[in-house]
Amino acid sequence: MTCFRFPSSRAAVLAALASLAVAGGVPAADGGALRIDPVETPVELYQFGIVTGQFTVHNDGEAPVRIVSVKPRRGRGDGSAEPEVVPPGGSAVVSVRRAVEYHLGLIRYGFVIATDETDRPTYIARLPTFVQSAYQPETQSVDFGPVTAGTRPEVEFEVTSTDVEALRVVELKSAPDWLDVEWDPALDADDPQRVRLRARLKDAAPRGTLFGYIHLRTDFAAQPDLVVAVEGTVFGEHLAEPFPLMFGGLHENTAKTIALKVWRRDGQAPELAKAVSSDPAVTVEAGECADDCLGLDVTLQAGAPRSFRGRIVLEFTGSEETLDVPFDAMIVSEGTALEDLGVLDRDVEFDDVLLPVSDQDAQREDDR
């Protein structure tokens, strides 16, 4: 395959850049004198950076308007207006900043512009922002899966950046206290854009479901923060299946029961002493199981639409060990279509199953 040189690409690039210019203003909102020119072109930056932007605000009223404060609707940030008092027929430039933190993708950050207008004290200015990661995979995670207490399983994972010629991890900023993290500080001879790391559970890792984050610092100045999610489940003398309990999607005012089975490693059938649910909608009753196991029926009585998670804590006769069984569910309105995707492998590409990203993410806002 061949390509070619272009005679005057600079002109084309300039034309393209010109087309990215901010679009014109929108009419003044109901009840207010100020009109905010919308920003159409997303600000692009790396994850964990600070997005900055500017809005032009016009005063279409007949009286001066003082901009009292500018701040993000959520998250850390600030803003200012110059001038603070916008004369009739005049305009001001509102500058904003906001930390993007863990966000990723196309987001519209909202900023509250507070004024001294009695009939319209606040306005919302939205800054389209495209937050990208310097690393691939963009959302890194390590999953130990089910683990036997006292063992020290190790998981290797790697992070790549094609945004730099060579990548180094220079510091472990933080990690869960039940985890060791190691890496080779030397560049990978086969692929200098790749770093291989190892995560290992400590002997004293607590039992139950573990979840945390590994915070690393790399030498890539534009995005030095690299965050890796880590999870696993440490079982002691008791084992449970299924684990965790995923009720999935339910219509409101319906019920769903999952049969939970619990075994002991020594082959003896556990005897339930107590079961405590963190949510009153989830209850536990005796169920059926073979002689060597404990059967429990865990029922969710779905009320009003909501998404929630919790846990059932099981206590056993003759044992000091408790077993925390997490559960999660999403209760939806009666008319909502539900499609059960089953259990998906983390690497499954489910392009043909999910709704298109544009439907899910293009409408995302930081206030959702």
Interface residue list for another protein (CB under 8 A): 1-10, 12-13, 16, 19-20, 42, 44, 104-106, 130-133, 136-139, 141, 143, 162-165, 191-193, 229, 343-344, 346-351, 354, 356-358, 361-362
Length of the chain: 368
Q: Which is nearer to another protein, 57 or 179 (CB)?
A: 179
Q: Which is nearer to another protein, 57 or 164 (CB)?
A: 164
Three-state secondary-structure class, residue 167: coil
Strand pairing partners for 327? 245, 310
> C-beta of 356: minimal distance to another protein in Å?
5
DSSP 136: B
Q: Which two tokens stand for residue 313?
A: 């804590």
> C-beta of 104: minimal distance to another protein in Å?
5
Q: Which is nearer to another protein, 317 or 358 (CB)?
A: 358
Question: Do residues 159 and 181 make contact, with C-beta atoms less than 8 angstroms apart?
Answer: no
> C-beta of 349: minimal distance to another protein in Å?
7
Q: Which is nearer to another protein, 84 or 188 (CB)?
A: 188
> C-beta of 215: minimal distance to another protein in Å?
17
Kindly tell me the burial class for residue 326, based on how many C-beta atoms sit within 10 Å of its own C-beta (0-12, 13-18, 19 or more): middle
> C-beta of 9: minimal distance to another protein in Å?
3
Q: Which is nearer to another protein, 137 or 224 (CB)?
A: 137
Q: How far apart are CA 143 and CA 230, in angstroms?
A: 6
Cβ neighbours of 308 (radius 10 Å): 15
Q: How far apart are CA 72 and CA 97, in angstroms?
A: 8
> C-beta of 130: minimal distance to another protein in Å?
6
> C-beta of 325: minimal distance to another protein in Å?
16
> C-beta of 57: minimal distance to another protein in Å?
25
> C-beta of 179: minimal distance to another protein in Å?
17
The DSSP line for 324-347 is EEEEEEEEE-TT-------SPPTT
Bridging pattern class, strands 322-332 and 245-251: parallel
Q: Which is nearer to another protein, 149 or 246 (CB)?
A: 246
> Which strands form 85-86's sheet, in the order they lie side by side?
43-46, 122-132, 105-115, 65-72, 85-86
Q: Which is nearer to another protein, 74 or 364 (CB)?
A: 364
Q: Which is nearer to another protein, 220 or 263 (CB)?
A: 220
Q: Which is nearer to another protein, 23 or 338 (CB)?
A: 23
The DSSP line for 14-75 is HHHHHHTSPP---PPPTT-SEEEPPP-SPEEEETTSEEEEEEEEEE-SSS-EEEEEEEESSS
Question: Do residues 108 and 129 make contact, with C-beta atoms less than 8 angstroms apart?
Answer: yes
Closest CA to 210 of 181, 230, 228: 230
Q: How far apart are CA 139 and CA 65, in angstroms?
A: 44
> C-beta of 271: minimal distance to another protein in Å?
32
Q: Which is nearer to another protein, 135 or 263 (CB)?
A: 135
